[in-house]
Amino acid sequence: MRRISHFLSTTFAGLSLLSGPLIANEYSTKGAYFTGSIGGSKVGDIDIQNVNSDIKFDPGVGLDLGLGYDFGTARVEGNWIRAQSDGTSWLGFNIETNTTIDSVMGSVYYDFREDKQWSPFIGASIGSTTVDIDGVSESGFSYGLSYGLSYKTSEKLEVFFKANTSIVPELTFDTLNNGSITITDGNFTNATIGLRVRF
């Protein structure tokens, strides 16, 4: 009996040592991937220099598409991010106007992978943002912060929730009467649900 007991304990110990790498490999994350998500967006109130009233935007649709590479705990991504609004209010008036904000960003993410299926993450981005308000558009430097939670359904597929806030420090719009309007600290936030698919 002692020999059998010793054999069984040794066998189970060996299997437990092997199962660690097998479980880890089941949810291996390294490699290139495509990512896409959709949800809601909220453009922040715009503070216009020398004007007491801010421009306020209605909520709209948020989109995020990108390509990336996962190194295990760190990821790099190139993203196109869109925020949208169909209406604004300014100086007490509600205006039906189409506003789109398109950002092209380079991002670095860090994944907290203590749990192999659930993975909180945080990221930082820099790039360029174009703001278009009823056909009048300007572009400028922008930066952002993202955070969220991923769930691995398989080695090739992850489902995630992500919140992203992007900031445009300063943007100047030329007006028809040869004047200009300067926007400071423009920002928008997208909250989206999406997929990350590995090649």
Does position 18 have pLDDT exceeding 70, yes or no?
no
Whether 126 has a pLDDT exceeding 90, the answer reads: yes
Domain of 36, in residue numbers: 30-198
Question: Is the separation of the CB atoms in 142 and 167 below 8 Å?
Answer: yes
Task: With respect to residue 100, please indicate whether it lies within any of the assigned structural domains.
Answer: yes
Segment 48-87, tens digit of pLDDT: 666 667 778 899 999 999 999 999 889 999 999 999 998 8
Residue 147 lies inside a defined structural domain of this protein: yes
Name the band, by pLDDT with cuts 50, 70 and 90, for residue 13: very low
Mean pLDDT of all residues belonging to the chain:
82
User: What CATH number is given to the structural domain containing 102?
Assistant: 2.40.160.20
Q: How confident is the model at residue 14 (pLDDT cuts 50, 70, 90)?
A: very low
* DSSP codes joined into one string, the chain: -HHHHHHHHHHHHHHHHHHHHHHHHHT---EEEEEEEEEEEEEPPBEETT-SSPBEE--EEEEEEEEEEE-SSEEEEEEEEEEEEEEEEETTEEEEEEEEEEEEEEEEEEE--SSSSEEEEEEEEEEEEEEEETTEEEEEEEEEEEEEEEEESSSSEEEEEEEEEEEEEEEEEE-TTS-EEEEEEEEEEEEEEEEEEE-
Report field, pTM of the whole predicted structure over 0.85: no
pLDDT bucket at 17, cuts 50 / 70 / 90: very low
Residue 187 within a domain: yes
The dihedral through the CA atoms of 172, 95, 52, 166 has a sign that is negative
Q: Which of 19-23, 103-107, 109-113, 166-170 has the lowest mean pLDDT?
A: 19-23
Q: Is 124 part of a structural domain of the chain?
A: yes
**Residue 133, pLDDT score:** 82
User: Does residue 24 sit within a domain?
Assistant: no
pLDDT of residue 171: 85
Q: Which of 60-69, 157-166, 171-180 has the lowest mean pLDDT?
A: 171-180
Q: Does residue 185 fall inside a structural domain?
A: yes
Domain count, the chain: 1
What is the pLDDT averaged over residues 174-183?
Answer: 67
| 190 within some domain | yes
Residue 42 lies in a domain: yes
